[in-house]
Amino acid sequence: MNPSEFANINKQLENLNADPELETAVFAGGCFWCTESAFQELEGVEEAVSGYAGGEEENPTYQQVVGHQTGHREALKVYYYPEEISYQELLNAFWNSIDPTDDGGQYADRGFNYTTAIFYNSEEEQKLAEESLKALEESEKYDKPIATKIEPFTTFYPAEDFHQDFYKHSAERYKIYKNGSGRK
């Protein structure tokens, strides 16, 4: 992997991580192109970074992840201002952007790397995530059981620069993909 492919995103992450008012949340919602756009537009979200979470391979590449070689899921690290948007509101946005009953991926994207998960950073996030999952189950909105996992956060690696803000810099391609995937 060419280190320059990560240059822009690494600089951006340095700046985000330096802001003490920002908190982070990590979600795997299938294709990160689609979940990134859903979170990026929320008031109070400073940035949603596409990447890979939960696997064991250090610094995985897109090809490794989609080739099922790393144990990572495509995921987002959401940087947000908690005084403007709560973790609970992020959870609601997450549930509304996925099919939580699909245990084989999301829409046309199949395989473990496209399965859904909430990666909690604290006991409070775990509690809120579990409560939101329980509320979703009790709502009887779905005929099938909820398949989304709630797991402790372990790792997150940003995806290559090309994948960041894909819905903006490749808008036409993104629109075709999203419409064809069944997610829309």
Distance between CA atoms of residues 37 and 35, nearest Å: 5
Is the confidence at residue 1, as pLDDT, over 60?
Answer: no
Residue 18 has what pLDDT? 81
Distance between CA atoms of residues 178 and 168, nearest Å: 13
Residue 75 in tokens: 């995921």
SS3 string, 99-139, reads: CCCCCCEECCEECHHHCEEEEECCHHHHHHHHHHHHHHHHC
We report the CATH number of the domain holding residue 137 as 3.30.1060.10
Is the confidence at residue 54, as pLDDT, over 50?
Answer: yes
Q: Which residues are catalytic?
A: 31
Is the confidence at residue 91, as pLDDT, over 80?
Answer: yes
Give the neighbor-by-neighbor strand order of the sheet with 73-80. 149-152, 116-120, 23-29, 73-80, 45-53, 156-158
Tell me which residue range forms the domain holding 167: 3-177
Its sign, for the CA torsion 96, 41, 151, 81, is negative
Say if residues 112 and 49 touch (Cβ distance below 8 Å): no
Residue 184, in any domain of the structure: no
| Segment 102-152, tens digit of pLDDT | 999 999 899 999 999 999 999 999 999 999 999 999 999 999 999 999 999
In the chain, how many domains are there?
1
Residue 34, in any domain of the structure: yes
